Amino acid sequence: MMWHDISWVDSTGSTNADLVARARDGAGEGSVVVAWEQTAGRGRLDRTWASPPGASLSMSLLLVPRPAFEQWGWLSLLAGMAVRAALERFAPEAGRVQLKWPNDVLIDGRKVCGILSERVEHRTGARAVVGLGINVGMDEADLPVPGATSLRLAGFPEDRRAVALAVLEEFERFYTSWQAAGDVREAYLQLCTSVGAELTIVVDETTSVCGIGHGVDAAGRLEVATEHGLRTFAVGDVVHARLAPCRPNPSA
């Protein structure tokens, strides 16, 4: 296993912040921080990413990717693939865990995981920190947003340590393939429910694009077949990519 330094902590402000600090101090690939409570994390678009004690799993992975930086957008997608594969191991019934572009992991159509990647500069070369949070023991009242779920609500086992180890195993599997080949599109396309589905791409509060998920390009950007032709969307350009027929100018 590539993970040589796993820190298990009861509570921290942010697993990403902890690992970023280690990366800046020169820590190498394979360091991991796993927390049962996170009090000051942040998610995509600077959203708050906190977790109540004992109800979730927060973890961050330190990586030194070989592919060019232009390909590092795949790291978040790899994390989504890993979480989906890991949770599939614990699913009471097959087919309940889905992956929606770019890295939203769903159970029965409801989001159970959030993922955030960031680049860290160091004099010996850039590193990447991939952070993720999985809703584990949350009840309906604890959920962070409408449309979310938890392993408890879905009837999955709540063994956070077992889930964390499964995620690490699956991430290493996909990451190793990506490092060697520089391309895991075929594996991603087999897992992603956005491909072939009706989509509403919410670009901002006033702009949405309708179409059918066509695929992903070499950089992991979503390709959507629209009435005006094929359009491509990067993660940073999209607020939501809903698996739903188009709704005009939905609110973000």
Residue 49: which pLDDT band, with cuts at 50, 70 and 90? low
Q: CB of 158 within 8 A of CB of 152?
A: yes
Which pLDDT score, from 0 to 100, does residue 249 have? 56
Among 107-116, 163-172, 238-247, whose mean pLDDT is lowest? 238-247
- Average pLDDT value for the chain: 90
| pLDDT at position 108 | 96
Tell me what pLDDT residue 46 has: 52
Closest CA to 12 of 61, 50, 69, 68: 50
Where do the domains of the chain lie, and which CATH numbers do they carry? 5-191 (3.30.930.10), 198-242 (2.30.30.100)
Does the pLDDT at position 107 exceed 60? yes
- Averaged pLDDT for residues 9-21: 95
Helices (H), 182-241: 185-191
Confidence band of 37 (pLDDT split at 50, 70, 90): very high
Q: What is the 3-state secondary structure (H, E, C) of 73-126?
A: CHHHHHHHHHHHHHHHHHCCCCCCEEEECCCEEEECCEEEEEEEEEEECCCCCC
